[in-house]
Chain A
Amino acid sequence: MSFRFLYQTVVHPRKVVKDLGDAPTPQYTAATLHGSLQIRHVDAGSCNGCELEVTSAFAPVYDAERFGVRLVASPRHADALLVTGPVTKNMVEPLRKTLEAMPEPRLVISLGDCAHNCGIFNGAYGVEGSVSDVVNVDVHIAGCPPRPEVIVETLRGLTGR
């Protein structure tokens, strides 16, 4: 653990803002989102590592809400669905239903390596497949788990803020 990290998180906590530089090309144009993205998160079978990082991304240090991103409590309120983990057999139907419950136009973001290719759960008896096997994925955030900076950066790419 570096001194700088300790300094930044404990001694002098400061919100992390990075210059975006070359932002990832948004699938969803920033114009249609108007700088605001409401996200419904579904855990399709994650080990909860990704959840910790999502929590961190929305916690005071990284504070993704500054950039117009919010986690909401119902798919009815959401623009985007954030899916973590491989999709377990029991979560196939709820995942589909959650997506159906969302108003259009809508966006699916898969988060973490397991969501992409099932990771270490690949081939496990309870796993149906990756997120893209069940629903169409628009944006992927890689990492096991992805760092909060990466999450925030991708989301900023979507909101354009």
Chain B
Amino acid sequence: MNVVYVVTVGLAGLIAAILGGALPLASRVGAAVALTWLSCGAGIAAAVSVLSSGHVISLSTTAILPLTGVTLVLNPLGALFVISISVVALASTLYWLGYASHGLDTRSASSALPLFVTSMLLVPFAASVATFLVLWEMMALTSLVLVLTDQSRREAARSAAQWYAVMTHAGAAAILLALILLSAHSGGQTFADIEAHARHLSGAVRGTIFVLALLGFGSKAGAVPLHVWLPKAHAEAPGPASALMSGAMVNLGIYGIILVGNELLGGGPVWWWLLVSLLGVVSALYGALYAATSSDLKRLLAYSTTDNMGLVLIALGASGLFGAVGRPTTAAIAMVAALLLLINHSVFKGALFLAAGAVQAATGTRDLDRLGGLMRRMPVTGVVFFVGALSVAALPPFNGFVGEWLLFQGLLHGLPTSNTSVVISVAVAVAALALTGGLTVAAFVKATGIGFLGRARSIEAAEAHEAAITMRLGAAALATLCLVLGLVPMLVLPAIERAAASAGRVSATSATGGWISLHLLGLRGVLAPSLLAGGLAIAVLVVIVIRRLTHRRSHAWPAVNPVEPWGSGRKLQTARMQYTATSFAEPLQRVFDDVIRPSRDLDVSHFVESRYYIERIAYHTSNDDVLERHFYRPFIASVRWWGQRARRLQNGSVHRYLAFGFVALVIVLVVVA
């Protein structure tokens, strides 16, 4: 039965892709969505059976890939990822039904999207090097097609796709090298063979493999400094695709790191995990900072993805560190925190990207400085975004809170160890987490406050219409899940425990609890999210009741007394007098001026008649990614320069080419002799 599920995942996805490419416009999206749902459903069924029984599903055939064959094994860790990807995919494809008319109903898109979902679902199944790489590459290529959807209308989409293609393939090359090194040293290409031999490799080889894998998978997860593609590609991809990329695909980057670091290599020395934590701290801070200063809604969300992946990497690094210094309980808590953060991120970032896609579909812009007042025009989308923002800001009773609480517990209780570098790095990570949390709140106060509250800053925003019913349903489903997971994290916690246990080193149980409260074993941490939410609700009720009782005579409460916004008494008030996203972020940008180095430009032009009268003032500011500006662009320029030099070698003269061949031959002969 279990094998049937696995075959269904692949076959349904494949048929969905074929139908999406072959059927006429009227039916292609519907058919593709239906079959993708089938594929996701089979994936969930397989994953649930693995997680509940603890038995892995395995399937091996030589019929598909010649020479190597396909090996698929689903263990609990993979099953957890399959579930998180399926959930986002179910919501995103439902949303796609409504979004299709916004340029996502072409043959290429209708074919690429199911294939993208299926390849993501199958990556955690892959259990041999060849299978893994083929599926990984399929995932990269299909998502590249989706990023290119709007390329005929927007130049930016083309440039984003170029960045994405280069970065993802550079990452794939690093992964390829790591996996080939592994299989070459262990005499087999299935993960089972590798796992059996990897422990006996020398430290240097293991270290090289881990660093290569960390770079490759880190670039997929958007870890700084390999993140440059992410804010471009995630922003340019159409709504459902960006939700899938940010909510599901980045997870697989983390999956890869756990796969190589914990499962295949079976854990490593302290410096590996210090490197992971460092990557996490830098990503979290950098992502949060850019999210707080971006004024493009989807770019903000994309940077927030980098930020959240940073948190996951910190947790993962902490888990490895505690494992390496012999504190299995804390290691288990940190691993559970990493996986819980990942799952939560999938859900709330999926919801946020779907809501942002709805905003873009309704207004045609992602620029926060041109939005505003959407809560009234698009109430469902607005509420979904609001819930997502509360979750990402880690406020109870939403799911982000539980994950971050667990991470803080793990880090704070993990402090007393004898290893100085571990103690220092954990302390730094806690400080970085605190700053990140603050910056994230600023970013999402800005996104919600400027984008959805206030008054519309453009005609498009003022005339926006609520999204189609399927779009609202898809986004609202994920938002509801944010609340459910925030109130009852125990729904997923046993599954996460099992997955964390299967991820190699950590085997201790870390957290238990009934439906109400969550106890951390070995620590004195207790959290009861539903009681917390109940208390919050009761407190609000008590305040309302008291106000009603004491203010019965004079004022009804809550008093509704609409007044005009204060605009210095001007007769004509325009929406331009409100705070904009740029002005909201300006103080923060000023504080971090030395880090992000934004370019500012003030043009003042005077009237010809007198320079005492100003005709117009133009203020330009841009905060391009500082790493892109100071590292990637110079690098690209130098590559281009060398490319131009190299062209001189080719002048079309056959004689010269013959001379090259002759010289090369002589050199080879001399060297060989």
Per-residue contact bits, chain B 277-302, to A (CB 8 Å; 1 contact, 0 not): 00000000000000000000000000
A76 at the interface (CB under 8 A from B): yes
CA distance A97 to B572 in the complex (A): 11
Tell me how far the C-beta of B565 lies from the nearest C-beta in chain A, rounded to whole angstroms: 9
Q: Is B571 an interface residue (CB 8 A)?
A: yes
Secondary structure call for the B interface: loop
In the complex, A94→B563 CA distance in Å? 14
Residue of A42, A76, A93, A95 near B566 (CB, 8 A) is: A76
Interface residues of B in 550-604 (CB under 8 A from A): 563-564, 566, 568-571
* Per-residue contact bits, chain A 73-98, to B (CB 8 Å; 1 contact, 0 not): 01110000000000000000111011
CB distance from B445 to the nearest CB of A (A): 21
Q: From B568, which residue of chain A is reached at the shortest CB distance? A: A94
Q: Report the bound CA distance from A42 to B569 in whole Å.
A: 10
Residues in B whose Cβ lies below 8 Å from that of A75: 566
Q: A52 CA to B269 CA in the complex, in Å?
A: 76
Cα separation A101 to B569 with both chains bound (whole Å): 9
A101, B564: Cα distance in complex, Å: 7
Evaluate contact between B570 and A100: CB separation under 8 angstroms.
no
Q: Which of B106-161 contact A (CB under 8 A)?
A: none
Determine if B566 and A94 form an interchain contact, defined as CB atoms under 8 angstroms apart: no
Docked CA distance A3–B427 (Å) = 71
Query: Do A100 and B571 touch across chains, with their CB atoms under 8 A apart?
Result: no
Pick the contact of A95: B563, B568, B569 (CB < 8 A): B569
Q: Which residues in A have their C-beta under 8 angstroms from that of B571?
A: 93-94
> What are 10 A-B contacts defined by CB distance under 8 Å?
A94-B568, A94-B569, A94-B570, A94-B571, A95-B569, A97-B569, A100-B563, A101-B564, A101-B566, A101-B569
Residues of A within 8 A of B566 (CB): 74-76, 101
A-B pairs under 8 A by CB, number? 21
- The residues in A between 51 and 109 inclusive whose CB is less than 8 angstroms from any CB of B are 74-76, 93-95, 97-98, 100-101
Chain B min CB distance to A143 (Å)? 26
Which B residues are CB-close (under 8 A) to A100? 563-564
Interface size on A, residues (CB 8 A): 11
- Give CA–CA (A93, B563) in the complex, Å: 15
Which residue in A42, A74, A101 is a CB contact (below 8 Å) of B563? A101
Q: Which residues of B contact A74 (CB under 8 A)?
A: 566
User: Which residues in chain B, 439-478, are within 8 Å of chain A measured between CB atoms?
Assistant: none
A104 to chain B, nearest CB (A): 9
* A94→B570 CA distance, assembly (Å): 6
The chain A residue sitting closest to B569, CB to CB, is A94
Query: In the complex, A75 Cα to B566 Cα: how many Å?
Result: 8
Q: Which residues of chain B have C-beta atoms less than 8 A from A98's C-beta?
A: 569
**CB-CB contacts of B319-362 with A at 8 A, as 1s and 0s?**
00000000000000000000000000000000000000000000
Residues of B within 8 A of A101 (CB): 563-564, 566, 569
- Min CB distance A132 to B, Å, is 19
Closest to A97 in B: B569
* Chain B residues near A93 (CB-CB < 8 A): 569, 571
- Inside 8 A of B564's CB, which chain A residues have their CB? 97, 100-101
Q: Mark A25-40, 1 if CB is under 8 A from B, else 0.
A: 0000000000000000
Q: How far is the CB of A82 from chain B (nearest CB, A)?
A: 14
Taking the closest CB of chain A, its distance from the CB of B554, in whole angstroms, is 11
Q: How far is B574's CA from A78's CA once the two chains are assembled, in angstroms?
A: 24
Q: Besides A76-B566, A94-B569, A94-B571, 15 other CB < 8 A contacts?
A: A42-B569, A74-B566, A93-B569, A93-B571, A94-B568, A94-B570, A95-B569, A97-B564, A97-B570, A98-B569, A100-B563, A100-B564, A101-B564, A101-B566, A101-B569
B334 CB, nearest partner CB in chain A, Å = 48
- Residues in B neighbouring A42, C-beta threshold 8 A: 569
CA distance A71 to B568 in the complex (A): 16
Q: In this complex, what residue of B is CB-closest to A42?
A: B569
Q: Which residue of A lies closest to B572 (CB)?
A: A93
Report the nearest B residue to A95, measured CB to CB: B569
Task: Provide the bound-state CA to CA distance between A98 and B568, in Å.
Answer: 7
CB distance from B347 to the nearest CB of A (A): 40
| Cα–Cα, bound, A74→B569 (Å) | 10
Smallest CB gap from A98: residue in B: B569
- In the complex, which residues 485-530 of chain B have their Cβ closer than 8 Å to any Cβ of chain A? none
- Chain B residue numbers with a CB within 8 Å of A94 are 568-571
- Least CB distance from A44 to B in Å reads 11
- Give Cα distance in the complex from A91 to B73, angstroms: 78
Beta-carbon nearest neighbor of B561 in chain A: A104
Shortest beta-carbon distance from A88 to chain B in Å: 13
Nearest A residue to B567, CB-CB: A97
- How far apart are the CA atoms of A100 and B564 in the complex, in Å? 8
Distance in Å from the Cβ of B185 to the closest Cβ of chain A? Answer: 71
- Chain B: minimal CB distance from A24 (Å): 28
Nearest A residue to B565 via CB reads: A101
Looking at B568, B569, B571, the one whose CB has the most chain A CB atoms below 10 A away is B569
- Could you say which residues of chain A place their CB within 8 Å of the CB of B563? 100-101
Query: Closest Cβ of chain A: how far from B288's Cβ, in Å?
Result: 32
**Which residues in chain A, 3-37, are within 8 Å of chain B measured between CB atoms?**
none
**What is the chain A residue whose CB lies nearest that of B570?**
A94
CB distance from A138 to the nearest CB of B (A): 20
Which single residue of chain A is at the shortest CB-CB distance from B566? A101
**Closest CB of chain B to A99's CB: distance in Å?**
9
List the B residue with the shortest CB-CB distance to A101. B566
Shortest Cβ gap from A96 to chain B (Å) = 8
A136 and B569 CA atoms in complex are apart in Å by: 18
> Nearest Cβ in chain A — how far from B567, in angstroms?
8
Contact residues in B for A95 (Cβ distance below 8 Å): 569
Expressed in whole angstroms, the minimum distance between the Cβ of A76 and any Cβ of chain B is 6
The complex places the Cα of A24 from the Cα of B571 at a distance, in Å, of 36
In the bound complex, CA of A74 to CA of B567 (Å) = 10
Q: CB-nearest residue of chain B relative to A93?
A: B571
Sort A-B residue pairs by CB-CB distance and give the 5 closest, nearest first.
Answer: A94-B569, A97-B569, A101-B566, A98-B569, A93-B571
